[in-house]
């Protein structure tokens, strides 16, 4: 070993010291050692020295005051004293400006160094920069504060829960649920959910879905509160928290319910409407099907409801419909279904209709209940129903099919004199189909003008003078041949096709009258039959005026045949219309007189010209006493009112003699002439002229 070389031991020691220094400089802790005597720095690692603006050599020998500054030294002096006195480590934090001037948070550990006798001779200082840590903490605190402020400020309910247990709620939730915070915290969220909704909510929690969905909360008072939940998962302090926004949707649910109600109910009567009925009926039908039960569907239509509306006004009509609705529901059982299909149509589904006889009994009761008189503004009115019945499963399997068939049966009830009920029979469907076919054909006939007029003379009984001719329409059906008006007029009226047909009749009849006159025949007035719909149509008088103008016919060439029905409406309105027609020179006759219920007052006050005794009273003459009495009365009344009286359907000479004796002025019927086409009638007229 060379003398200037250190011994091995020393070399090893130096290596160890170097190693120790490297470690001390590498750790992210500033380390220093101060001697008690003089408070002088005897060791500092690189980090410590740089922290206070020294290097590792230059710092040595400086006092603490010199290193960290007088103020800081003073501030920590009590800590230092304590460590030296008690020989116990201590930890404190303080602020220190960093090299960039920003304040740093440092954590300081002071550790005492004692000699063998236990006397403190110095202290180690270990400083850790905890700025980042403190900043993170502050940020967290801030965000917590923000969240809690937000929760308090939010108008919407917010619930935090962990694993389904509530950890936090805000005031809106308490207000919505009727609980205090204490009553809710720590409890399972499911405790506050309506029982029938729990499975759904539990599934969302279990799946950890982040979704929004509607549910129902359970209020402290046990009531159900419709809510919307918007759920989010939040990671907080290493834990998964669920945040649920609880939105009160009672208003929305109420509005939806109202909209649903409006869409499914008739506003006037509060009954379900067609949509609701069909929905519900199909459910009941499926149930009945499964149980092997039968049901009955009733289609109720009020007879002549339009008259009430027209003559008494819509408010009265509405009131009547409400009363009818009440009477129907009052007659049925709870389980039965009642709906208003609009207008004067009601549709019923009788649950557990045991037998046809049982259904017939209910239908009979309905006819009586609905038709019972009702007091309106001091007057008693009564509107009877016509009811069609279709049975399930015999007449159909779906609500739609049953409704269609009950509707068909209802028409049958109307045809059979109204105020009654009729069960569906398959033959009716056939008839309905035929009518449907006829209907579409009729619409085409209007376009193609497949109608012809036949004319029947009206003669004075005493001398056979020609008073006029009645125009009677026929349909030249391409397949069925010439069809009488009874076969298509009712359909035309029901489908409003009577309006264009009526116009055509009016024009054609007037044109014909003008033509006959041009052909050199004596002027022959034509009588044209009117339908109620025409009479009530807007601009009716003008349409007559227009027809006269278009054809060049004088007003006195036209006689209009009204029905008693038309005279029953509002007296002032009818009088007004008739007066306007009269002013055009048009004559007015009451057709089929005696079959309706015209009041004497109306007859007396309306500007009329003629009564036509209905054929049914002429038929029995002269033998039938009843007919004779009625015919005599009509003639008497007509003369009393200054009207001419014409007897319809005079077929025999005996009838003619009898009518002549009664003082009846005119006749129309097979005895003198059947209705015939225009050309034929012209021949008939010429022949008469020659004979005369
Ligand atoms: P109405 O106005 O009472 O016409 C008289 C009906 O009696 C006609 O039947 C006529 O052919 C028939 N008739 C005439 N003489 C006799 C007789 O001696 N014995 C018998 N049994 N019947 C006789 P038609 O042509 O079948 O017309 C039936 C009904 O159709 C008419 O009854 C009228 O209410 C209606 N009608 C006819 N044409 C029109 C029209 O252009 N418009 C409207 N709205 N209705 C019409
Ligand atoms: Mg007539
Ligand atoms: Mg008649």
**pLDDT tens, 431-479?**
777 877 888 889 899 999 999 999 999 999 999 999 999 999 999 998 8
User: Could you give the CA distance from residue 40 to residue 94 in angstroms, rounded to a whole number?
Assistant: 21
Q: Which residues pair with 105 in a beta bridge?
A: 95
Ligand 1 within 6 A of CB of 648: yes
Q: How far is the CA of 471 from the centre of ligand 2 (A)?
A: 8
High-pLDDT (> 70) share of the chain, %: 99
**Residue appearing with tokens 């005996």:** 654
Whether residue 559 has its Cβ less than 6 Å from ligand 1: no
pLDDT for 692 equals: 67
Residues with CB in 5 Å of ion ligand 3: 591-592, 648
| Residue matched to tokens 């039968």 | 294
Neighbours of 409 (CB within 10 A): 27
pLDDT of residue 2: 54
Q: Whose atoms come closest to the Cα of 472: which ligand?
A: 1
Tens of pLDDT along 288-340? Answer: 999 999 999 999 999 888 878 877 888 888 999 999 999 999 999 999 999 99
674 C-alpha to center of ligand 2: Å? 13
Nearest listed ligand to the Cα of residue 560: 2
Count of CB atoms situated within 10 Å of the CB of 198:
18
Span 15-129 CATH architecture: 2-Layer Sandwich (3.30)
Ligand 1 site, residue 485, Cβ cutoff 6 A: yes
- Kindly state if the Cβ of 529 falls inside 6 Å of ligand 1: yes
- Residue ranges, comma separated, of all CATH 3.30.450.20 domains in the chain are 15-129, 147-253
Closest CA to 60 of 81, 79, 45: 45
> Residues spanned by CATH 3.30.70.270 within the chain?
269-424
For the domain made up of 438-686, the CATH class stated in words is alpha beta
Q: Look at residue 527 and tell me whether its pLDDT is greater than 80.
A: yes
Average pLDDT, the chain: 91
Interval between CA 495 and ligand 3 midpoint (Å): 22
Report which ligand 1 atom has the smallest distance to the Cα of 651.
18
* CATH architecture of the domain with range 147-253: 2-Layer Sandwich (3.30)
Whether residue 369 has pLDDT greater than 90: yes
pLDDT for res 379: 73
What is the Å distance from ligand 2's center to 509 Cα?
Answer: 13
In the prediction, which pLDDT does 439 show? 84
Among all bound ligands, the one having the nearest atom to the CA of 673 is: 1
Q: Would you say residue 238 has pLDDT above 80?
A: no
Q: Between 498-518 and 540-551, two packed helices, what is the crossing angle to 10 degrees?
A: 30
Q: How far is the CA of 273 from the centre of ligand 2 (A)?
A: 41
Cβ proximity of 231 and 193 under 8 Å: no
Beta bridge partners of 514: none
Are 294 and 392 in contact, with CB atoms under 8 Å apart? Answer: yes
CA 264 to ligand 1 centroid distance, Å: 46
Q: Is 651 in the pocket of ligand 1 (CB under 6 A)?
A: yes
| 230/213 Cα distance (integer angstroms) | 7
The band of 7, judged by pLDDT with boundaries at 50, 70 and 90, is confident
Where do the CATH 3.20.20.450 domains begin and end in the chain?
Answer: 438-686
Whole-angstrom distance, CA of residue 81 vs CA of residue 90 = 11
The CATH number of 269-424, from 3.30.70.270, 3.30.870.10, 3.20.20.70, 3.30.70.260, is 3.30.70.270
């Amino acid at each position: 070993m060379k003398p200037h070389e250190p011994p091995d031991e020393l070399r090893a020691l130096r290596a160890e010291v170097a190693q120790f220094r490297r470690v001390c400089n590498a750790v992210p802790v500033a380390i220093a050692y101060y001697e008690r005597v003089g408070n002088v720095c005897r060791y500092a690692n690189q980090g410590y020295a740089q922290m206070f603006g020294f290097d590792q050599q230059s710092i040595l020998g400086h006092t603490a005051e010199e290193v960290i500054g007088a103020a800081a030294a003073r501030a920590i002096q009590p800590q230092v004293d304590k460590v030296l006195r008690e020989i116990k480590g201590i930890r404190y934090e303080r602020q220190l400006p960093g090299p960039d001037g920003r304040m740093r948070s440092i954590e300081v550990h002071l550790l005492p160094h004692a000699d063998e006798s236990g006397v403190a001779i110095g202290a180690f200082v270990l400083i850790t920069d905890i700025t980042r840590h403190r900043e993170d903490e502050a940020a967290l605190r801030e965000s917590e504060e923000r969240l809690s402020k937000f929760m308090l400020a939010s108008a919407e309910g917010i619930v935090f829960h962990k694993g389904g247990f509530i950890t936090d709620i805000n005031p809106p939730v308490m207000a919505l649920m009727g609980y205090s915070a204490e009553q809710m915290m720590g409890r399972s969220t499911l405790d506050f959910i309506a029982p029938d909704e729990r499975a759904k909510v539990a599934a969302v929690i279990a799946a950890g879905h982040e979704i929004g969905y509607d549910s129902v909360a359970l209020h402290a008072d046990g009531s159900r509160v419709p809510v919307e939940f918007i759920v989010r998962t939040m990671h907080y302090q290493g834990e998964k928290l669920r945040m649920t926004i609880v939105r009160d949707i009672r208003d929305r649910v109420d509005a939806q319910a109202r909209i649903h109600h409006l869409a499914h109910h008739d506003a006037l009567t509060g009954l379900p409407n067609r949509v609701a009925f069909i929905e519900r009926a199909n459910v009941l039908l499926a149930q009945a099907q499964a149980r092997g039960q039968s049901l009955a569907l009733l289609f109720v239509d009020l007879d002549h409801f339009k008259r009430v509306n027209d003559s008494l006004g819509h408010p009265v009509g509405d009131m009547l419909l409400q009363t009818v609705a009440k009477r129907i529901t009052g007659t049925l059982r709870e389980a039965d279904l009642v709906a208003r299909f609009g207008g004067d149509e009601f549709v019923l589904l009788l649950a557990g209709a045991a037998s046809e006889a049982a259904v017939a009994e209910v239908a009979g009761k309905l006819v009586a209940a609905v038709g019972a008189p009702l007091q309106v503004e001091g007057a008693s009115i009564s509107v009877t129903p016509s009811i069609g019945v279709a049975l399930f499963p015999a007449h159909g399997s779906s609500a739609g099919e049953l409704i269609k068939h009950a509707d068909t049966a209802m028409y049958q009830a109307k045809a059979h004199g109204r105020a009654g009920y009729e069960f569906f029979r398959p033959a009716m469907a056939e008839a309905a189909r035929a009518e449907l076919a006829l209907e579409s054909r009729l619409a085409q006939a209007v376009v193609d003008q497949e109608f012809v007029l036949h004319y029947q003379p009206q003669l004075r009984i005493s001398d056979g003078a020609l008073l006029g001719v009645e125009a009677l329409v026929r349909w030249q059906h391409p397949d069925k041949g010439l069809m009488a008006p009874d076969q298509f007029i009712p359909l035309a009226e029901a489908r409003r096709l009577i309006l264009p047909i009526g116009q055509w009749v009016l024009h054609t009849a007037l044109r014909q009258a003008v033509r006959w006159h041009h052909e050199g025949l004596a002027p022959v007035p034509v009588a044209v039959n009117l339908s109620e719909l025409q009479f009530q149509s807007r601009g009716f008088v003008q349409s007559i005026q227009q027809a006269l103008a278009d054809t060049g016919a004088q007003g006195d060439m036209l006689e209009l045949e009204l029905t008693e029905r038309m005279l029953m409406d509002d007296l002032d309105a009818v009088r007004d219309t008739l007066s306007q027609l009269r002013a055009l020179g048009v004559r007015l006759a009451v057709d089929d007189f005696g079959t309706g219920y015209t009041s004497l007052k109306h007859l007396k006050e309306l500007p009329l010209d003629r009564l036509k005794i209905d054929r049914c009273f002429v038929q029995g003459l002269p033998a039938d006493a009843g007919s004779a009495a009625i015919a005599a009365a009509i003639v008497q009344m007509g003369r009393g009112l200054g009207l001419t009286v014409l007897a319809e359907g005079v077929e025999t000479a005996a009838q003619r003699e009898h009518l002549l004796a009664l003082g009846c002025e005119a006749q129309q019927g097979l005895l003198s002439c059947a209705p015939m086409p225009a050309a034929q009638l012209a021949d008939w007229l010429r022949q008469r002229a020659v004979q005369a």
